[in-house]
Structure 1
């Protein structure tokens, strides 16, 4: 078929459309010589502004006009209409866009008509401005919104609610759990408050009221409302303020706004952390969904029981922990995190004497572990190599012969790092220590250890001390974060001063470390411990990437009613790390956010972050949540009680667990058991 004949094939029906709808009128143009070839496509209107109020779904119908070689402008019916994304609405085959009413934002529309060589496309931009008034709680007087809308507004700094959380300038993943806004309490029943949350494309208003009994000087944003906010602010700033009408007052006191930023992308997976309780006394490892903030116990320890010193395999399917509930001595067990039972079944162990910390290789075939050199000396530790299948100690060359602890294996599998010169036992160490890196060689051999940072070089830093500890690898295996201070642990010794510590970032090749000042928060620069990188990296609209670093701190979270102010209770925080800034030698951190879902009545420490653990296809299961595919069902109808993980009946979306790429929607890849996760290396 010649080029001209192919052209004529699509121009014949198009010419009929021209005759029915042409700006110049008269007969359709003569197409026999190809003179009316379409050279461009214009959409009208080229820009549209819609407003969606409280869930309304406004529409607009776009028209398409073809521009021919001869300069004629003729209305045509495109063969397709598509949107750059479906977050704020949908478009049908006639070019009618309908806002979803669930998010504000901007989207590009593309219309397509056939061309001689390639399709000809036209574009338009639709912006949806969303407003939402959150339904009033029954305890809130129904006249409150009207009072805020009609009373005059004033600026009174001493009467204005001062937001304590979130922190000014904090960066958060887009799918972070809904935060609880907290401000400095006023001891005055009858005060009314208006919460105003603004993105470039949305405004959300909510109201709360001090009843004098249960009011916490806070506003917990519900999950659905926060989803509207987050979907309207991908890669953009959010401004939050709380306005106040004092009890009996006749003016609205405007609050001071706080600005935070949500990433374009989300951080998925499961956080396993160590919770230490006082009432009832005990400790446990808890599992927390990083997006929803829901948590549950892994081991289900009773009062007086203790579990801790945990470590995760890179795929999140195995967890090691040291327990005191299996005999007179402490033991270490490696358990199956895909199990729904508490405690989960053992994969390896229990080992006696117990190991303190374990570092799994990326393929989990080897484990670098620390343990006491002798049972009677729990605070004198060394490193050993274990078989990842059996837990048996193996011969290995290149490991340190002196005191060492806190081993960690790089995500690319090429290197290991540890603390050299001190113990990682229960009491930690206050000795001068170093962070060292060693290359992993074949035959269970490790190369010569290279010092990437010596703790003594920071003895004059604000946190003082000469102890480097707790190294953690960045997702791309190029950087190490570590803690430096007066001790490798945060616990206060009898009649001793509370330990101090700060967090630093250094290249795996050494050099000057960067103090993560902004990322430790207002109260954290000398009280930040145990950094742990998330394996997930967010990709931003401008092509940049962000890493996410968890740590714990005694700094105040919010106020004393809803948060932890004044308690010095340890809680988990997460800061964003910009690797490009680190390469320039700048502080790459941003103010942190509090990890949603924690118990503010307990000490929450030692977060380890991994893809959501799940069971593979054909493995036994009891509920769908245990399966990577999200489907637990009987494979054989004749045996309905024999349940196994089956292929999903509905495709899994970005961030959902998966067995392989066939489980995922829209051609998403399945990496580390997560649809749409893109490994950084």
Structure 2
């Protein structure tokens, strides 16, 4: 047997890779002290190799000795690097690098060393070690290779490398796979758990295995959110249950160990917040992507584990290098106020904006995050009590920090925003400076006693000088109910919804999206946004991507008879846009084109998750779009449905979109993640993303 000794520095971990020797009996080793050694007791070759240069080869691969009349010398072809073929010197039948292709596992903070050598197999059956071979490595980010063939891996680096050697007139190579592993036992759990789990057979998956409930399979994660909370159910083992959480990438492993006492949440329900160091290692180890996440359960018998550990079905998670920024401003039904979830600090912080007046939704934060426009209902009309059943929604602008109304608003703008039925504010980065502050709103009086609303139009309001310009009218070909404006960040265009009819804050029946040039607030001729202008469907709540290339929007059926009525004011059973249980996320080019359903983000068509109010982040460093939206899907077991007909209380979820896949036949979205830091108590709606 030929034995190669692979070792980890620091903890003196030993790894042995064995390989059956050939008939010649050659043996070799990788030294435990890091010094490269020649192969010991190599076979001495007694046959005469003659002139190894072999003269000039003929076209048939043979070569003649020095002298034209000598017998031909056969030169064997060898498959080399990149599948290139070259001819070996005379007397050689093959050339190889030892050790051959294999994998090693090393602790995350350690380094592994491997000693390589080049061996030629000779015609007579013997072997020769080529001590003057030149070694190269193709992946210097994983480790380094010296000229003598000694490879040293870097700590926290896993991957696959090609070890190449220049010898015998050509290039040959072998592969080395390095898997780096980090293990952590949570406080209070048995410290010996890592060894106990390593000492039992591989876990199996069957109906008795843990059932992972969160995260969702196929989700994408930014790099700067706090650690996820893994949630699962498990019915066996009871108080003797112990667990290992596995995060397995192609070239890295993170294992977290705990038990029934440390992770029990409720009867047969478990929740584990990943420790901060293990969470950081998922990114530090650079082990490739995606990760397979699973829960392995076993039974502690006092001095080890019972045989037969059980593993949940693995879920695929994409850990990205993207980083969130800014804040999400959402409406919380429990506090009846707007909450600001600041994503910049770690962990995120959440606080309320102290605005008086009860319910104040339909809000939007200014691009600088300092001002928020809110609409709230009033029982008074022009300062006097209105008729029975009447109400109006008026808009005001407030400081995010103090909640007080801003003092710089032009009186004419303030008066206009205070008129009946002013809703759905929209801002643009290009029109939010000290010299020029614009907001686009919907305005039209609310009905009496819940009747159908009158006509509603879009207006551009210059908040600094008080000028007001009506942007939509019947002569343009639009209908009588314009809703939900979204203004591009570059200020060049806006997208809005046009409904057949409206009721309160909801589009009813059907609605289409339209696009209009903004022209500094003067507006232009609107046109239907192709791909989002289908008849007999609700298409609404447009949100423009940070680069102004695409529009993410809601699409739903107005046939909501199978949905529950929420509160009697719109909602899933109203046939309207508000909280429609059939709401799905779609994306379309801002100039119009083929609309694509965001399948992973939306979930199954029959799920009735009510995916509503998309909002795009413009403060993400990375390669994806990120969309925040409210959804009635369950957050594991921590936020679930109390009424199957209504679904779970709405929560803010965030999904990644790959812009390189938009417009292809591949779904560009990922499964969403629950936005860490938001309120679990009550429902959360209208997560508007801005800076903080």
Q: By the TM > 0.5 criterion, same fold?
A: yes
Matches within 5 A, 1:493-508: 493-494=567-568, 498=573, 499-500=580-581, 501-508=583-590
Q: Could you tell me how far 1:454 is from its partner in structure 2?
A: 5.6
Q: Which residue of 2 aligns with 1:404?
A: 482
Secondary structure of the equivalent of 1:157? Answer: coil
Q: Which residue of 2 aligns with 1:420?
A: 498
**Inter-CA distance 172–525: structure 2 relative to 1 (3 Å threshold):** farther
Query: In 2, Cα distance between the equivalents of 1:283 and 1:156?
Result: 46
Query: In 2, Cα distance between the equivalents of 1:317 and 1:101?
Result: 44
Matches within 5 A, 1:537-576: 545-559=623-637, 562-564=638-640, 568-576=648-656
Q: Which residue of 2 aligns with 1:445?
A: 523
Q: Which residue of 2 aligns with 1:492?
A: 566
Deviations 1:217-265 (CA, angstroms, capped at 9, x unpaired): 1211133321210233486211111111147682243313434343653
Q: Which residue of 2 aligns with 1:655?
A: none
Is 1:527 paired with 2:610? Answer: yes
Query: In 2, Cα distance between the equivalents of 1:104 and 1:344?
Result: 54
Q: Which residue of 1 aligns with 2:418?
A: 352
Query: In 1, Cα distance between the equivalents of 2:178 and 2:358?
Result: 54
Q: Which residue of 2 aligns with 1:382?
A: 457
Query: In 2, Cα distance between the equivalents of 1:348 and 1:185?
Result: 58
Query: In 1, Cα distance between the equivalents of 2:225 and 2:184?
Result: 20
Q: Could you tell me how far 1:361 is from its partner in structure 2?
A: 2.5
Is 1:171 paired with 2:238? Answer: no
Q: Which residue, out of 183, 203, 207, partners 1:133?
A: 183
Q: Which residue, out of 245, 253, 267, partners 1:195?
A: 245
Q: Which residue of 1 aligns with 2:71?
A: none
Q: Which residue, out of 428, 442, 445, partners 1:361?
A: 428
Deviations 1:622-680 (CA, angstroms, capped at 9, x unpaired): xxxxxxxxxxxxxxxxxxxxxxxxxxxxxxxxxxxxxxxxxxxxxxxxxxxxxxxxxxx
Q: Could you tell me how far 1:299 is from its partner in structure 2?
A: 0.5
Deviations 1:267-326 (CA, angstroms, capped at 9, x unpaired): 321232323234xx5232322307845131241468x93332221334444432235799
Q: Which residue of 2 aligns with 1:222?
A: 275
- What runs of 5+ residues in structure 2 fail to find an aligned partner? 1-100, 116-131, 163-174, 384-391, 574-579
CA contact (8 A) 1:105 1:232 kept: no
Q: Which residue of 1 aligns with 2:403?
A: 343
Deviations 1:348-404 (CA, angstroms, capped at 9, x unpaired): 5564237321111322235343344236679553211111435x3423555667321
Q: Which residue, out of 254, 272, 277, partners 1:204?
A: 254
Query: In 2, Cα distance between the equivalents of 1:590 and 1:537?
Result: 16
**Inter-CA distance 200–133: structure 2 relative to 1 (3 Å threshold):** same
Q: Which residue of 1 aligns with 2:311?
A: 255
Q: Which residue, out of 486, 507, 514, partners 2:596?
A: 514
Q: Which range moved further: 193-202 or 343-352?
A: 343-352
**Inter-CA distance 425–259: structure 2 relative to 1 (3 Å threshold):** same
Q: Which residue of 1 aligns with 2:295?
A: 242
Q: Which residue, out of 679, 684, 689, partners 1:599?
A: 679
Query: In 2, Cα distance between the equivalents of 1:292 and 1:532?
Result: 22
Q: Could you tell me how far 1:451 is from its partner in structure 2?
A: 3.9
Q: Could you tell me how far 1:74 is from its partner in structure 2?
A: 13
Query: In 2, Cα distance between the equivalents of 1:570 and 1:90?
Result: 52
**Inter-CA distance 54–299: structure 2 relative to 1 (3 Å threshold):** same
Query: In 2, Cα distance between the equivalents of 1:234 and 1:152?
Result: 24
**Inter-CA distance 98–336: structure 2 relative to 1 (3 Å threshold):** farther
> Higher Cα Rg: structure 1 or 2?
2
Secondary structure of the equivalent of 1:518? Answer: helix
Q: Could you tell me how far 1:436 is from its partner in structure 2?
A: 0.4
Is 1:433 paired with 2:489? Answer: no
Q: CA RMSD in A?
A: 4.7
Matches within 5 A, 1:628-667: none
Query: In 1, Cα distance between the equivalents of 2:244 and 2:319?
Result: 26
Matches within 5 A, 1:148-163: 148-163=197-212
Query: In 1, Cα distance between the equivalents of 2:617 and 2:670?
Result: 15
Q: Which residue of 2 aligns with 1:34?
A: none
Query: In 2, Cα distance between the equivalents of 1:529 and 1:490?
Result: 16
Secondary structure of the equivalent of 1:452? Answer: coil
TM-score of the two chains, using structure 2 as the length reference: 0.63
Is 1:333 paired with 2:396? Answer: yes
Q: Which residue of 1 aligns with 2:544?
A: 473
Q: Could you tell me how far 1:205 is from its partner in structure 2?
A: 1.4
- What runs of 5+ residues in structure 1 fail to find an aligned partner? 1-46, 62-72, 76-82, 109-124, 460-465, 540-544, 614-681
CA contact (8 A) 1:181 1:219 kept: yes
Equivalenced residues, count: 517
Secondary structure of the equivalent of 1:431? Answer: strand
CA contact (8 A) 1:58 1:98 kept: yes
Query: In 1, Cα distance between the equivalents of 2:629 and 2:327?
Result: 12
TM-score of the two chains, using structure 1 as the length reference: 0.64
Q: Could you tell me how far 1:546 is from its partner in structure 2?
A: 2.9
